[in-house]
Amino acid sequence: SAEMLRGKRVIVTGASSGIGEQMAYHLARMEAHLLLTARTEAKLQKVVERCLELGAASARYVSGSMDSPTLPEEMLREAENTWGGLDMLILNHIGQSGFTYFSGDVGHVRKLMEINFVSYVALATAALPMLKESEGSIVVVSSIAGRIGGPFTAPYSATKFALDGFFSSLRQELIIDKVNVSITLCILGYINTESAVRAVSQVIPDTPAPKEECALEIIRGGALRRREVRYPPRAVSTMLLIRSLAPEFLDSIIRSSYHVENVRR
């Protein structure tokens, strides 16, 4: 129920648009305290204003790029100074990456790993002392591309596979040490965010799932301390089942379903 989040202190990254923005609005309606971050300050200001209108207990923001080595500490310092602690960290931001053939640009892979993976590790590491104290939660927004290597997403897919490996391993260590901090990994399919639709609508014929419902499922999974959230559940679970039973068959289904003639090299 919404009461589970009332008064909770929550950080949401990538909160100026898409799924992150929708999560901020859901949490505001649940009367949580919000600290939001993204690159674009003007957009963040508008989201914070809307969150306050919707009933957030409080709403603040810190703007900046996640490839900055100082931003994670700045975010957590703001949480500690403002709230004296933290209950939930939702890691949702991503860097820009095209839906196209891999060009051989290793520099792009390195930068994307810094934003999509290393900054997640840095934020979680900085947040752990406060989350241990509150027995809180880490929510990691990932992708079906972090479980299944489809075409045209090589750099992006690499970062999402890395998230799965790191946070699945960290979860084991926390359990061994009897630390009551939950880690929820969110495996998302095709969602109707502006950036996703713009990137893949000419190639993938599927109808994207609604970002508003996706955002709510992510929050629900984190609040209930679930190991994993799959959304849309049927599509993602079916693909993962086929991959475990017949991976080459799944690969051929993916290739044949794409309009590859629309992919720019």
Q: Which residues are catalytic?
A: 156
Cα–Cα distance for residue pair 125/49, rounded to 1 Å: 29
CB 72 within 8 A of CB 126: yes
Phi, psi of 165 (to 5 degrees): -65, -45
Q: Which two tokens stand for residue 58?
A: 């409080």
Identity (one letter) of the amino acid at 237? S
In the chain the beta strands, taken as DSSP E runs, fall at 9-13, 33-38, 58-63, 88-91, 137-143, 182-188, 228-231
In 85-205 the beta strands, taken as DSSP E runs, fall at 88-91, 137-143, 182-188
Q: How many residues does the chain have?
A: 265
Cα–Cα distance for residue pair 131/113, rounded to 1 Å: 25
